């Protein structure tokens, strides 16, 4: 379905700069590797006299650096590799500006690397896998081959920067689209006069492209049901165009779509926010629970050996995010045992992902080897830092003395911080997944969080947040998952102690009571984290189809969850307990327990940012959020703008063109949500109402076609991603002569907006 880049016929013209051929790195190139055993003169397996043998432990790397940046003067990188499909991710880095290319999985370049022989790999800098796009400008000076969780063992040889890559002319895809278009993607210098379109035996005559070139051919007459064949050069493409499905749009509208549903956790920079049209940006997550705003530090907790890390300053973060046009959602630490945050420490300024240097050993280590010799595992880079577990998996004892490693944190410290912020957040959350603090931050909060303690912390910190920033809106309790929506980490005895009331309903009632006793609302948004529970590990065809169905868990009262939620006996006292129907379920609870509270989902994801199916899930979900009246949502975490998930944001919000703000009802005959998503809206553009329509075809193999009544004719902008063309994004304008036959190819999301 998706184009393998390796499938393109590519010829190398000239090898320009050799980094390695035999014996040793070429002059100037340096070894900046870490955590790996490397032999630069390995003779066991070599082309020529020797090759490089690499044995990398988990997340460690072969990394080659040159003081003379090669910038954008080369067309690509070539190398030969041998190993049992080593789990490697390649990045091209600029250590001066501290930027890097997309992470390129070796598997996106070749899936057939074996240990019997060398496989030649070419990385085209103008078409960077997995999602396309050019490497772009940069003082590129470092190439890193990083191993995954299980390490990697391989031989690598003939590493060269290539100055010219000639792409053989080829038609890659040609697909019917909307009313009367054929979208043709090409590589190299093709001859368009060879394109012939044949619909039911009759011959018809016939922007923004990050990874392949696209040309739109407008047909002399509209597409219609039947057999379509397109021949172009020596390629041919055939489709069975289905009979029309009737759809009806009611232009009168139902409700306003909240702008805040198009949010992202930690967008990378201002251009990211503008390119994807991000409306709200969240600062949160496990590390931020342990953010020390006075020291600029977080603690990784259980995520990574309880180590402190230098962190951005929240005030500066809010400033640039607001300047880029996005609102903000800031987590206020609140879950620490009466209460501590990491102290000031030596700042290395190193980004999180980079290899740690010895200076970071000066960071506070709670579960230091010297004190707890017998631990399950230690950080491979800082062997003194343990994971806080005995080898049998139970918590080490005694709990380290917090006075040695933390400074106090409490509501007055939080108030001092929030009052002192020059830039105020739009919303705050009270901590993050506070209910599982005894797992994520066992050092700070070893005792399981109870209903009462969690409520008390939310009430106390919300009250001071509103004293410090009167206009701020509070979202809580940012509960991690379905299980904890209904109980606490103490267990069901805690439910029993609260009249057998499930946690979130109880929490809503208590927050309503807190409003009465405080004389003001302390909870503006009920905030949840929601991750689809189906098993999507095997990214095969059945899993992708499952992924397409799982969006139903956001809304559908008939969708029995295809996960433990759907099969386990009820873990809660809620109606229909094997069905999630997240948005209507919690809207109903809010109505019953604390009317007027909004609903937000500050963490969710598609389960596959880089896969087309993950992009379609994201596009479908964004449509669902608008249709079902969710008030805010922020994706975890920042999908690459060229990834499939990133393109879903671009589809709805990219570059200043926005899906409308008034949700319109769309009815579709025999609507099957496993295979289709369809969302309509209108907005006022230049003083006139304009309709927008998003259609997500979740079927990988077949186009769908619609007869849409209520869709005005005239000029439209069309954006789309997916289909035979691969994940890349495209857009053009076209004239909708009659709404009676609109085609959407398989595995494609399209956005149509009336031009007024």
Ligand X SMILES: *[C@@H]1O[C@H](CO)[C@@H](O)[C@H](O)[C@H]1NC(C)=O
**Contact positions vs ligand X (CB under 6 A):** 37, 55, 57, 68-69, 71, 73, 116-117, 136-137, 139, 153, 200, 208, 226-227, 248, 250, 390, 392, 394, 407-408, 410, 412-413, 453, 456-457, 460, 499, 535, 537-538, 655-656, 665, 667
**Nearest to ligand X of 373, 422 (CB atom):** 373
**Nearest to ligand X of 569, 656 (CB atom):** 656
**Nearest to ligand X of 116, 471 (CB atom):** 116
* Nearest alpha carbon to residue 210 among 136, 273, 267: 136
Q: In angstroms, what is the minimal distance from the CB of 347 to ligand X?
A: 19
Q: Are strands 51-65 and 226-232 parallel, antiparallel or unpaired?
A: unpaired
CB 336 within 8 A of CB 445: yes
Q: In angstroms, what is the minimal distance from the CB of 656 to ligand X?
A: 6
Q: Which residue has the tokens 């209108």?
A: 682
Angle of helix 582-593 relative to helix 503-518, nearest 10 degrees, comes to 40
Q: In angstroms, what is the minimal distance from the CB of 453 to ligand X?
A: 6
Q: In angstroms, what is the minimal distance from the CB of 522 to ligand X?
A: 12
**Nearest to ligand X of 237, 260 (CB atom):** 237
Classify residue 422 as exposed, middle or buried by CB count within 10 Å of its CB (0-12, 13-18, 19+). Answer: exposed
DSSP-assigned letter for residue 25: B
**Nearest to ligand X of 193, 392 (CB atom):** 392
Instruction: Round to whole Å and give the CA distance between 546 and 685.
Output: 38
DSSP-assigned letter for residue 385: B
**Nearest to ligand X of 413, 704 (CB atom):** 413
CB 159 within 8 A of CB 70: no
**Nearest to ligand X of 560, 717 (CB atom):** 717
* Nearest alpha carbon to residue 263 among 633, 624, 647, 640: 633
**Nearest to ligand X of 59, 233 (CB atom):** 59
Residues in CB range of 193: below 8 A, 6 or more apart: none
Q: The tokens of 661 are what?
A: 């703000």
Q: Which residue has the tokens 């002399």?
A: 220
Q: In angstroms, what is the minimal distance from the CB of 371 to ligand X?
A: 14
Instruction: Round to whole Å and give the CA distance between 386 and 378.
Output: 4
Instruction: Round to whole Å and give the CA distance between 254 and 238.
Output: 40
Instruction: Round to whole Å and give the CA distance between 79 and 88.
Output: 14
Instruction: Round to whole Å and give the CA distance between 308 and 301.
Output: 8
Q: In angstroms, what is the minimal distance from the CB of 151 to ligand X?
A: 7
Q: In angstroms, what is the minimal distance from the CB of 252 to ligand X?
A: 9
**Nearest to ligand X of 341, 612 (CB atom):** 341
Q: In angstroms, what is the minimal distance from the CB of 55 to ligand X?
A: 4
Q: In angstroms, what is the minimal distance from the CB of 471 to ligand X?
A: 23
Q: In angstroms, what is the minimal distance from the CB of 199 to ligand X?
A: 9
| Helical segments of 209-281, H only | 270-276
Residues in CB range of 482: below 8 A, 6 or more apart: 530, 533, 565, 580
**Nearest to ligand X of 84, 303 (CB atom):** 84
3-state secondary structure of 342: coil
Q: In angstroms, what is the minimal distance from the CB of 242 to ligand X?
A: 11
CB 752 within 8 A of CB 720: no
**Nearest to ligand X of 601, 676 (CB atom):** 676
**Nearest to ligand X of 256, 359 (CB atom):** 256
3-state secondary structure of 564: helix
Q: In angstroms, what is the minimal distance from the CB of 266 to ligand X?
A: 22
Q: In angstroms, what is the minimal distance from the CB of 730 to ligand X?
A: 11
| CA–centroid distance for 272 within its chain | 13
Nearest residue relative to ligand X (C-beta): 250
Q: In angstroms, what is the minimal distance from the CB of 32 to ligand X?
A: 18
Q: Are strands 632-635 and 263-265 parallel, antiparallel or unpaired?
A: parallel
Q: In angstroms, what is the minimal distance from the CB of 669 to ligand X?
A: 10
**Nearest to ligand X of 129, 654 (CB atom):** 654
Q: The tokens of 298 are what?
A: 């977080």
Q: What is the largest CA-CA distance in the chain?
A: 82
No. of helices (H) and no. of strands (E), the chain:
15, 39
| CA–centroid distance for 446 within its chain | 31
Q: The tokens of 684 are what?
A: 């006022």
**Nearest to ligand X of 601, 718 (CB atom):** 718
Residues in CB range of 587: below 8 A, 6 or more apart: 599, 629
* Nearest alpha carbon to residue 429 among 622, 274, 634: 634
**Nearest to ligand X of 161, 580 (CB atom):** 161
Instruction: Round to whole Å and give the CA distance between 91 and 110.
Output: 16
How many residues would you count in the chain?
756
CB 418 within 8 A of CB 462: no
């Amino acid at each position: 379905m998706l184009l393998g880049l390796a499938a393109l016929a590519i010829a190398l013209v000239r090898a320009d700069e050799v980094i390695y051929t035999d014996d040793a790195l070429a002059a100037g190139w340096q070894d900046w590797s870490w955590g790996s055993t490397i032999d630069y003169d390995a003779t066991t397996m070599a082309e020529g006299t020797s090759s490089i043998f690499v044995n990398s432990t988990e997340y460690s790397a072969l990394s080659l650096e040159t003081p003379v940046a090669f910038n954008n003067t080369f067309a690509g990188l070539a190398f030969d590799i041998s190993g049992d499909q080593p789990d490697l991710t390649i990045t091209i880095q600029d250590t001066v500006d501290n930027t890097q290319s997309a992470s390129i999985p070796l598997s996106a370049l070749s899936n057939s690397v074996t240990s019997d022989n060398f496989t030649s790999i070419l990385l085209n800098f103008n078409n960077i896998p997995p999602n396309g796009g050019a490497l772009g400008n940069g003082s590129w000076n470092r190439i890193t081959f990083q191993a995954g969780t299980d390490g990697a063992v391989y031989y690598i040889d003939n590493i060269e920067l290539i100055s010219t890559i000639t792409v053989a002319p080829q038609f890659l895809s040609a697909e019917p689209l909307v009313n009367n278009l054929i979208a043709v993607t090409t590589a190299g210098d093709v001859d368009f006069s060879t394109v012939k379109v044949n619909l039911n035996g009759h011959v018809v005559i016939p922007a923004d492209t990050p990874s392949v070139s696209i040309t739109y051919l407008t047909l002399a007459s509209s597409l219609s049901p039947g057999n379509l064949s397109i021949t172009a050069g020596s390629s041919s493409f055939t489709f069975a165009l289905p009979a029309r499905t009737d759809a009806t749009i009611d232009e009168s509208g139902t409700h306003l779509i909240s702008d805040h549903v198009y949010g992202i956790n930690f967008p990378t920079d201002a251009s990211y926010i503008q390119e994807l049209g991000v409306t709200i940006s969240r600062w949160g997550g496990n590390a931020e629970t342990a953010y020390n705003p006075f020291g600029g530090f977080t603690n990784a907790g259980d995520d990574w050996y309880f180590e402190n890390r230098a962190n951005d300053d929240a005030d500066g973060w809010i400033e640039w995010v607001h300047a880029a046009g996005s609102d903000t959602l800031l987590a206020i630490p609140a879950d620490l045992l009466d209460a501590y945050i990491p102290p000031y420490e030596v700042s290395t300024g190193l980004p999180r992902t980079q290899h740690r240097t010895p200076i970071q050993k000066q960071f506070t280590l709670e579960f230091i080897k010297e004190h707890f010799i017998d631990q399950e595992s230690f950080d491979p880079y800082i062997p003194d830092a343990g994971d806080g577990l005995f080898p049998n998996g139970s918590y080490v004892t005694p709990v380290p003395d917090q006075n040695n490693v933390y400074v106090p944190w409490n509501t007055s410290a939080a108030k001092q911080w929030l009052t002192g912020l020059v830039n105020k957040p739009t919303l705050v959350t009270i901590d993050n997944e506070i209910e599982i603090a005894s797992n994520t931050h066992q050092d700070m909060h070893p005792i399981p969080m109870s209903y009462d303690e969690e409520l008390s912390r939310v009430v106390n910190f919300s009250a001071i947040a509103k004293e410090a920033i009167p206009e701020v809106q509070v979202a809580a309790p940012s509960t991690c998952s379905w299980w904890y929506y209904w109980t606490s980490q103490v267990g069901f005895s805690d439910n029993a102690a609260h009249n057998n009331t499930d946690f979130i309903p109880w929490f809503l009632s208590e927050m309503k009571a807190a409003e009465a006793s405080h004389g003001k609302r302390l909870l503006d948004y009920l905030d949840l984290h929601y991750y689809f529970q189906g098993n999507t590990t095997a990214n095969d065809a059945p899993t992708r189809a499952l992924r397409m169905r799982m969006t139903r868990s956001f809304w559908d009262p008939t969708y029995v969850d295809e996960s433990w939620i759907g099969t386990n006996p009820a873990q809660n006292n809620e109606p229909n307990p094997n069905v999630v129907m997240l948005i209507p379920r919690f809207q109903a609870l809010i109505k019953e327990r604390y009317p007027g509270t909004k609903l937000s989902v500050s963490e969710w994801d598609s389960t596959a940012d880089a896969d087309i199916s993950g992009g379609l899930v994201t596009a479908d979900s964004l449509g669902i959020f608008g249709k079902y009246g969710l008030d805010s949502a922020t994706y975890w975490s920042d999908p690459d703008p060229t990834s499939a998930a990133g393109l879903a944001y671009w589809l709805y919000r990219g570059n200043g063109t926005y899906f409308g703000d008034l949700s319109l009802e769309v009815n579709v005959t025999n609507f099957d949500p496993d295979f289709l998503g369809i969302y309509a809206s209108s907005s006022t553009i230049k003083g006139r109402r304009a309709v927008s329509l998003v259609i997500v075809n979740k079927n990988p193999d077949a186009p769908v076609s619609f007869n849409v009544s209520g869709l005005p004719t005239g000029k439209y902008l069309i954006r789309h991603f997916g289909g035979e063309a691969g994940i890349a994004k495209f857009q053009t304008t076209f004239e909708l002569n009659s709404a009676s036959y609109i085609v959407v190819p398989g595995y494609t999301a399209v956005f149509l907006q009336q031009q007024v």
